[in-house]
C-alpha cells in the first residue's frame, strides 16, 4: 500500500486542521472542540518546543476514531521522536532524500511535500502518489493544481499553505485534490 495508507486517511478526512501548539493547556480543549465538530484528525506541527509532548497528550485525549498527525518533519531525529510518540500520520514539507528509507521502513502513513514537477516525478519514481502541495498559495494555488492534474493524473494532492475557509471548497472540487490542510479551523473554533 503506497505510503502506508495515507490516501485512505486523507479521503476519510477531507479537511485537516494544521495547528501550532504553544502550550500543553491548549491540547485537550482543541481535541474536544474538533471532535464535537465532527473533525477527526489534526496535524500538530513541530514548530514549538512542546510539539512532541502535545502529540502524546492529544493521543490520550482523543477517541479511537481520531487521527493525530505531525507536520514539519525535516530530519531523522524528529522522525524517530514522533514514531516513539505513536503518531498516526507524518507530514513533511518537502522530499528529503535522507528520510526516504526511514519512511519506507515504518508502518505509519506519510505525506511528503512537493511544489515542482521534478519533485512530483521523483515521488512517483519512489512509488509515492499522494502528496502535500506546499506552499499552495505561493506555488500557483488552484491553477497550478488544475494543470498538474492534467500532467500527473495518478497523483492526489493535499494542498496546504494559504488554504482558507473561503477557498478550501474550490480546492476540494478539483479531481486531483483529496484533502486540504489549514490553520483557519482552529481560529474558527476560537480555541
Catalytic residues: 43, 132
Residues contacting 105, CB < 8 A, separation 6+ = none
* Calpha distance 133→139 (Å, rounded): 8
Distance CA 160, CA 114 (A): 11
State the cell numbers at 86: 505513536
Bridge partner list, 85: none
CA proximity to 130, closest of 141, 114, 147? 114
Report the alpha-carbon distance of residue 58 to residue 87 in Å, rounded: 10
- Of 4, 6, 18, 1, nearest in space to 130 by CA: 6
Tell me the C-alpha distance between 153 and 176, whole Å: 7
Compute CA distances 134 → 61, 62, 111, whole Å. Answer: 29, 27, 11
Amino acid at each position: 500500500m503506497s505510503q502506508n495508507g495515507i490516501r485512505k486517511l486523507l479521503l476519510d478526512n477531507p479537511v485537516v486542521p494544521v495547528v501550532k501548539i504553544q502550550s500543553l493547556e491548549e491540547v485537550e480543549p482543541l481535541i474536544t472542540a474538533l471532535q464535537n465538530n465532527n473533525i477527526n484528525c489534526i496535524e500538530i506541527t513541530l514548530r514549538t518546543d512542546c510539539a512532541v509532548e502535545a502529540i502524546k497528550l492529544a493521543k490520550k485525549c482523543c477517541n479511537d476514531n481520531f487521527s493525530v498527525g505531525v507536520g514539519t518533519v525535516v530530519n531523522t531525529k524528529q522522525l524517530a521522536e514522533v514514531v516513539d510518540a505513536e503518531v498516526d500520520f507524518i507530514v513533511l514539507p518537502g522530499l528529503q532524500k535522507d528520510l526516504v528509507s526511514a519512511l519506507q521502513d515504518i508502518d505509519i502513513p506519510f505525506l511528503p511535500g512537493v511544489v515542482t514537477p521534478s519533485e512530483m516525478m521523483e515521488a512517483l519514481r519512489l512509488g509515492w502518489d499522494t502528496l502535500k502541495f506546499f506552499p499552495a498559495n505561493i506555488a500557483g494555488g488552484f491553477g497550478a493544481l488544475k494543470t498538474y492534474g492534467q500532467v500527473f493524473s495518478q497523483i492526489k494532492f493535499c494542498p496546504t499553505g494559504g488554504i482558507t475557509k473561503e477557498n478550501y471548497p474550490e480546492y476540494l472540487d478539483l479531481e486531483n485534490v483529496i484533502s486540504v490542510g489549514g490553520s483557519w479551523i482552529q481560529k474558527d473554533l476560537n480555541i
